[in-house]
Amino acid sequence: MGNLAWINGEITSLSEAKVSLEDRGYLLGDGVYEVIRVYNGCTFYLEAHLERLSNSANAIQIEIPYSGSEIEKAVNDLIAESAYKDCYIYMQVTRGAAMRDHIFPDGVTPGMVMYVRPLAPLLAVEDVSPAKCITLPDERWMNCHIKTVNLLPNLLARQKAYEAKALEAILYRPGNIVTEGTRSNVFAIIDGVVRTHPQTNLILPGISRRIVLDLLGESDTYYEEKAFTVEDLKKASEVWLTSTSLEVNPVYEVDEYKVKGNLPGPLTLMLMKKFREKISSECKGD
């Protein structure tokens, strides 16, 4: 029970888990990862996360050494043995362990690890705190659709947000085009229309982003996957973030510009509630 790790097929305590010092994920950031939320002992959108993991691995020419069904069983085994009801699973696939070299090594089996950590139960919707955000230049590479372990630009931006007492840094490219946050996708209502950056190489195809787009469609709410600027964002009537950890989180301030109206705004609140209903539907528990 407790914090457990799964290392290439073997379960051990997280404190005793070990990987090679020459693992390319550690030495070179040569790997990809996923984080899966678990509610009431049930994984939330596991299949979508595994699909994205596979897409990321394929994009950097890593062959995941386990099938989807084998990974799903490993995830469920970890949850069961940990006895956690509310937790998250972190999983990572690297090219494997080999002598340090920029060239892909021959004859090396990719490595896969995962671990489980507890999370506090869900807050009630009315207890979710609206977020303060800052904006910063997007200094990441041009393949943000790949969920790699190379997160240093994200960390530097997130640290600046933390030092500014903000929950998130919202990033922008040349022309002040908003892309996403360091760990979230960004939505805004601009001139009465819901907008979010289109799914390109400049953003991560967020699972929670996909759920929110589905919820908007189900509610017949018109939206556009269309780029907008920092200036647009600061005039928005509602702004919210989406991610596995944040779910749907309203924003009250961007660079000291206050979002107008009540918080959360009516559409944000509807999405927060609908997202919770989706969780309840998918994760009914025992």
Q: How many domains does the chain have?
A: 2
Confidence of residue 286 (pLDDT cuts 50, 70, 90): low
Of 92, 45, 86, nearest to 208 by C-alpha is 45
Q: Does 182 share its domain with 207? A: yes
- Name the domain boundary from 118, 151, 182: 118
Whether the predicted pLDDT of 126 surpasses 80: yes
- Name the domain boundary from 97, 118, 139: 118
Q: How does pLDDT run across 69-113, given as a tens digit for each residue?
A: 999 999 999 999 999 999 999 999 999 999 999 999 999 999 999
Q: Does 99 share its domain with 155? A: no
Q: Does 264 share its domain with 131? A: yes
Rounded to two decimals, the pTM is: 0.95
Q: Does 109 share its domain with 156? A: no
Q: Does 102 share its domain with 169? A: no
Q: Does 150 share its domain with 27? A: no
Cα distance between residue 246 and residue 212, in whole Å = 13
Q: Does 163 share its domain with 257? A: yes
Cα distance between residue 284 and residue 165, in whole Å = 36
Residues spanned by the domain of 207: 125-282
Q: Does 79 share its domain with 155? A: no
- Does the bond joining 198 to the residue before it have cis omega, within 30 degrees of 0? no
CA distances (Å), origin 134, targets 138, 223, 236: 12, 24, 15
Contacts of 17 (CB under 8 A, 6+ apart): 5, 7, 113, 115
Q: How does pLDDT run across 202-219, given as a tens digit for each residue?
A: 999 999 999 999 999 999
Whether the predicted pLDDT of 284 surpasses 80: no
Catalytic site residues? 147
Residue 125 and residue 276 in contact, taking contact as beta carbons nearer than 8 Å: yes
Q: How does pLDDT run across 43-72, given as a tens digit for each residue?
A: 999 999 999 999 999 999 999 999 999 999
Cα distance between residue 72 and residue 66, in whole Å = 10
Query: Any idea what the CATH number is for the domain that residue 189 is in?
Result: 3.20.10.10
- Name the domain boundary from 54, 88, 118: 118
Query: Any idea what the CATH number is for the domain that residue 38 is in?
Result: 3.30.470.10
Contacts of 73 (CB under 8 A, 6+ apart): none
Contacts of 82 (CB under 8 A, 6+ apart): 1, 2, 3, 4, 116, 118
Q: Does 218 share its domain with 184? A: yes
